[in-house]
Structure 1
Amino acid sequence: MFRLPGFSARTIAVGYVTVSLLVLAMFAGPLWYTWKITVEGVRTELLQTDTERLSRLFASNGPGALSVAIEAQTSGTYQGVGRLMLFMAPNGVKLAGNLDGWPKGAPENTSPCAANIMVDGVPQRVEMIHTVLPGGYRLLVASNLNRFEQLEKLFVRGLLGCAAAVLLVAVLGALLFRRVMLRKVDSISQTTSAIMAGKLTQRLPAPHRGDELEMLTHTVNGMLDQIEHLVHSVQDVSNAIAHDLRTPLTELRARLEELSVTRPAEEETYQEIDAAINDVDRVMAIFNALLRLAEIDSGTRRGGFVPVDLARLAAEVTEFYLPVAELNDVGLTFAPQGMLHTVGDPLLLAQALGNLVENALKYAPAHSQIMIGARRCGELDIELTVADNGPGVPEAERARVVERFYRSDASRGTPGVGLGLALVSSVARLHGGVLRLEDNAPGLRAVLCLNVPRVAM
């Protein structure tokens, strides 16, 4: 199976050289072909033109005039340029020209052809045209094929020079690219080493605008911000767990130690045992809530989505908490709007809505009202709302009250461990939505916004 080469300075240099040479070959190949075709065509055409001109001169003025014309054109020493000509009488006697005799390999027909002949003792590659004139006279006109050899050598040398320049530029460019990339990689390595050493605030230096690594740098820095946030969140959660577990465990140990030392009466012993069981239940409630949150965050509960009628679910939650509301002298009403059939986890949705109602009942004063609403906002969005007339949550704390184990100053004296709204927020995320906390003027308006498909039931 073919595999692409790895990304490195050497790969870039080789690729640049290969592409450049291919482009150079694509330019030089057609040029060379055109040169050869054009030169050979013009040379043949000139040979034919000279032959026809000399033939007309022979026809109009006879052998003597043709001999004089040939001698005039071939006078002097042949230097590898110009024409090679030979005019012979019917009996084979040379009448004019710069060839000593009929060359070996000369064509007997009248078609242009190429052959190797000796000229002044030097082999030459020539193109020849043989013409038989009236009366048995013979005319041979030839042109040296090597006359452009020097020009062709210059062209090849120039091509090789261009290839060498391309190779040199590629090597220098690859070395420069490698140096720049190593500098950037070294910066990334130093930053990651500092982070591994515990300096979570370290970030990659911001690149220049237009830098190829700009997007990567922003992405890595964003990832580091998220990692730092998660680490701090884990630390906060760990501290909160330790703090919230320490109280019930301390009380449990104190009770058991007192029982062991004082050995009270049976009735008092059973009372202390009941209190110890309550402490254990508080600890187990914390762990159960954490396990439930972990299960929700992992997305495993999404596989259990079933059709749900949210209007009916909200009505059942309202009916369940109505006795508690009446006991606290708080009005609890539910006002659905339209058909609210969707898919989701009914147990989690009921628990999330129940947590919102419990929070409202916990802080709502007597003679106040708690309104539960449910409506569809679009094709996929459904809002479950719990609005109360209690003290509400300051705007500065609304982003933090959904964090795990966070408890505001107003809730210090109330029961709970600070996981209720965190669970609601996780359920909302599991259903593609979000938990919004808004001002109800007065009180708090908690909106559980879900984004799940509509289904027919």
Structure 2
Amino acid sequence: MINSLHFSARSAALSFVAVSLVVLALFATPLWYTWRETIEEGRVRILQADARRLVNVFNRQGVAALTSAIEVQVGTQAAGAEDLVLFADASLARLAGNLPAWPREVPAGSGKYTLSIDVDGQPTRVVLLHKTLPGGYHLLVANDVAKYRKLENLFLYGLICATGIVLLLGVAGGLLVRRTLLAKVGDINQAAAAIMQGNFSHRLPAYGGENELNTLVETENRMLDQIEQLIGGVRNVSNAIAHDLRTPLAELRSRLEELALTRPAPAQTFDEIDGAIADVDRVIDIFNALLRLAEIDSGARHSGFVEVDVASVASEVAEFYQPLAELHGRTLSFASSGPLVLAGDPLLIAQAIANLVDNALKYAQRNGKITVATGRAPDGGILIAVSDDGPGISDEEKPKVLERFYRSDASRGTPGAGLGLSLVAAVAKLQGGTLTLSDNHPGLTATLAFQPT
């Protein structure tokens, strides 16, 4: 892992340098093109102005005046000047200028040309204008391409220096990026090593400011919070399972052991067998509840989602528990504002409502009242509320009773394993809803809230 991280950091540094050079090239290329075009345009403009001036002398004053003007012009040029002028007759014989003869390389037609000609025995690349004058005379005005080479070289030297500076800054910046990245990755590696050694409370170091790495660290820390919570939950569940299974299994063993030792009368034996069956049923109920919770947590029940009218499901649950409520001397009523349809698992929704009604029956007062109601929330959500008039739950315990196997002091004497409300909460979470516990004054109101389809 470290080697790959080093490679990634090195690649980031090299990429930084490469991008810097590409940016410089993208900037310099149009600049160089513009420079060359400007120089070339200026060179041609100067040649055209010089040629126009000489042609005007010829048109106004004739051959002799032009010959004299050219001789004066070339005579006043400094030694080594790059400006070339040549005036020739119809047979291309030299009349005036600083070239000894008409260059053979110049085409016969008038125009602008860039080519190499012989100047003082040396091939020289020039830009020239060839003008054909009345009477068959020829005028050649040329300029050595090397005239502006010093300026071009200065531009190139400046560009090379800029490339060197960008390269140095790019290398320095890339190394800084690499060093910073490796430092932060090293911190993350140390934190990850501590977590791998079992210290689940350790967290990745957070960095100030809003950046991608800090966002990644925050996401990883939230994931670690969830992992720590899940592992803690597994530990608590394991302890709770061991505690809750120990009692019925101990009772079962005690009954069977007493039967084996005392060998009582058949009637008493069958009574003890019935008690043993009840203990086995308690154990089976615990495992069934755990299996349902595991199935819900895995999301496997999503495949059973269909369009469900939760008002109809709640009505059926209330109708099912009506005889049991009357048997215990309690009143169970149902109220609904009409059909409430959402995408969900009808069996899980029915089981969740049934668990809430079952809890209400356990804790409602003698001759008390239990209400099952469905309706719409102000935001359009679907609400299912089960209320009773029992002792209720304190605010401190409301979050705890949703944990698996948690049982408050008030519920110690009632049957159950402490999985009913946690299963309801799991069903709500599976379907994107929530379970909320609130006071009913007196009693408790458990509300399932779902978002409609």
What is the TM-score with the length of structure 1 in the denominator?
0.88
Aligned residues: 448
CA separation of 1:60/1:338 partners in 2, compared to 1, >3 Å: closer, same or farther?
closer
**1:223 aligned partner:** 223
Distance in 1 (CA, whole Å) between partners of 2:195 and 2:404 is 26
Deviations 1:142-180 (A, max 9, x none): 221221122222222322332233222222222111111
Cα distance in 2 for partners of 1:51, 1:247 equals 118
Does structure 1 retain, via aligned residues, the 8 Å contact 2:13–2:177? no
1:312-363 deviation per Cα after TM superposition (whole angstroms, max 9, x unaligned):
4333333333333233322222222223455543333332222212211211
Q: Secondary structure at the match of 1:396?
A: coil
CA shift, 1:81, in A, is: 2.9
Structure 2 matches for 1:391-430, cutoff 5 A? Answer: 391-430=391-430
Kept after mapping to 1: 8 A contact 2:20/2:170: no
Q: CA deviation at 1:366?
A: 1.5
CA distance in 2, matches of 1:91, 1:298: 102
The amino acid across from 1:405 in the alignment is F
Which SS does the other structure have where 1:318 is aligned?
helix
C-alpha distance in 1, partners of 2:297/2:429?
A: 8
Which range moved further: 246-255 or 320-329?
Answer: 320-329
Give the residue type in structure 1 aligned to 2:345. D
Gaps of 5+ in 1: 1-5
3-state SS, counterpart of residue 148 of structure 1? helix
Q: The residue matched to 1:401 in structure 2 has which SS?
A: helix
Cα deviation for residue 194 of structure 1 reads 0.7
Which amino acid letter does the alignment assign opposite residue 48 of structure 2? Q
Tell me the equivalent position of 2:384.
384
Q: Could you tell me which residue of structure 1 aligns to residue 140 of structure 2?
A: 140
TM-superposed deviation, 1:373: 1.6
Instruction: Pick closer, same or farther for the CA change 1:62–1:195 going to 2, 3 Å.
Output: same
Instruction: Label 1:99 to 1:281 Cα distance change in 2 as closer, same or farther (>3 A).
Output: same
- Kindly report which structure 2 residues correspond to 1:252-267, keeping only aligned pairs within 5 A, or say none: 252-267=252-267
Cα distance in 1 for partners of 2:49, 2:317 equals: 109
Partner of 1:98: 98
Q: Which residue of 1 aligns with 2:42?
A: 42
Distance in structure 2 (CA, Å) of the matches to 1:86 and 1:319: 119
Question: In structure 2, what is the Cα distance between the partners aligned to 1:57 and 1:76?
Answer: 18
Q: After TM superposition, give the deviation of residue 61 of structure 1 in Å.
A: 4.1
Matches within 5 A, 1:63-74: 63-74=63-74
| Closer, same or farther: CA 239–116 of 1 in aligned 2, 3 Å | same
Matched-pair contact (CA < 8 Å) for 2:343–2:452: yes
User: 1:364-383 residue pairs with structure 2 within 5 A?
Assistant: 364-377=364-377, 381-383=381-383
Please tell me whether residue 53 in structure 1 is matched to residue 53 in structure 2.
Answer: yes
- Shifted more, 185-194 versus 326-335: the winner is 326-335
Deviation (angstroms), 1:205: 1.8
Cα deviation for residue 308 of structure 1 reads: 4.1
The one-letter amino acid paired with 1:154 is L
d(CA) in 2 for partners of 1:310 and 1:91? Answer: 111
- Equivalent AA in structure 2 for residue 204 of structure 1: L
Q: What is aligned with 1:319?
A: 319
Q: Which stretch of the first structure deviates more once superposed, 326-335 or 199-208? A: 326-335
Name the CA shift for 1:319/1:140 in 2 (closer, same or farther; >3 Å). Answer: closer
Residue 324 of structure 2 aligns to a residue in which SS? helix
Superposition RMSD on alpha carbons, in Å? Answer: 2.8
The CA distance in 2 between the partners of 1:361 and 1:159, in whole Å, is: 88
**Percent identity (aligned):** 53
Higher mean displacement: 61-70 or 114-123? 61-70
In the other structure, the counterpart of 2:214 is 214
Structure 1 residue 443 displacement after superposition? 0.8
CA distance in 1 between counterparts of 2:130 and 2:376 reads 100
* Alignment partner of 1:248 is 2:264: no
Q: Is the 8 A contact 1:390 1:444 kept in 2?
A: yes
CA distance in 2, matches of 1:133, 1:363: 122
The one-letter amino acid paired with 2:52 is E
Q: State the one-letter code of the partner of 2:277.
A: I
Structure 1 residue 291: Cα displacement: 0.8
Residue matched to 1:111: 111
CA 1:45–1:363: 2 relative to 1, 3 Å = closer
Q: Is the 8 A contact 2:12 2:178 kept in 1?
A: no
**Matches of 1:333 and 1:62, distance apart in 2:** 126
Q: What's the offset of the Cα at 1:259?
A: 2.7
Q: How far 1:134 moved relative to its partner?
A: 5.5
**d(CA) in 2 for partners of 1:67, 1:399:** 111
Unaligned runs of 5+ in 2: 1-5
- Distance (Å, rounded) in 2 between the aligned partners of 1:93 and 1:182: 79
The range that moved more, 428-437 or 108-117, is 108-117
* 1:107–1:129 Cα contact (<8 Å) kept: no
| 1:7-45 residue CA offsets vs partner (Å, 9 max, x unmatched) | 934443444444444433333333333333333333233
Comparing 391-400 with 257-266, greater Cα deviation is found at 257-266
Equivalent AA in structure 1 for residue 441 of structure 2:
A
Give, in whole Å, the separation in 2 of the partners of 1:403 and 1:260: 39
Corresponding letter in the other structure for 1:389? D
Q: Which string of whole-angstrom CA distances, capped at 9 and with x for unpartnered residues, describes residues 177-207 of structure 1?
A: 1111111111111111111111111112221
Q: Does the C-alpha gap of structure 1 residues 345 and 132 become closer, same or farther in structure 2, counting only changes over 3 Å?
A: closer
Change in CA separation of 1:264 and 1:80 when aligned onto 2, cut-off 3 Å: farther
Matched, 1:158 2:158: yes
Distance in 2 between residues matched to 1:309 and 1:22, nearest whole Å: 63
1: CA distance, partners of 2:165 / 2:234: 59
Q: Which amino acid aligns with 1:367?
A: N
Letter in 2 for 1:44: V
Sort the Cα spacing of 1:257 and 1:214 in 2 relative to 1 into closer, same or farther, 3 A. same
Residue aligning to 1:300: 300
Rounded Cα–Cα distance in structure 1 between residues aligned with 2:88 and 2:151: 34
Structure 1: distance between partners of 2:337 and 2:403: 31
* Cα 1:305/1:379, change in 2 over 3 Å: farther
Q: In structure 1, how many angstroms separate the alpha carbons of the residues matched to 2:326 and 2:265?
A: 39
For 1:3, the equivalent position in structure 2 comes to none
Supply the distance in 2 between the matched residues of 1:274 and 1:213 (Cα, whole angstroms).
Answer: 63
What's the TM-score once normalised by structure 2's chain length?
Answer: 0.89
Q: In the alignment, is the contact (CA less than 8 A) between 2:289 and 2:419 conserved in 1?
A: yes
Are the structure 2 counterparts of residues 92 and 423 from structure 1 closer, same or farther at C-alpha, using a change threshold of 3 Å?
A: closer
**In the alignment, is the contact (CA less than 8 A) between 1:204 and 1:217 conserved in 2?**
yes
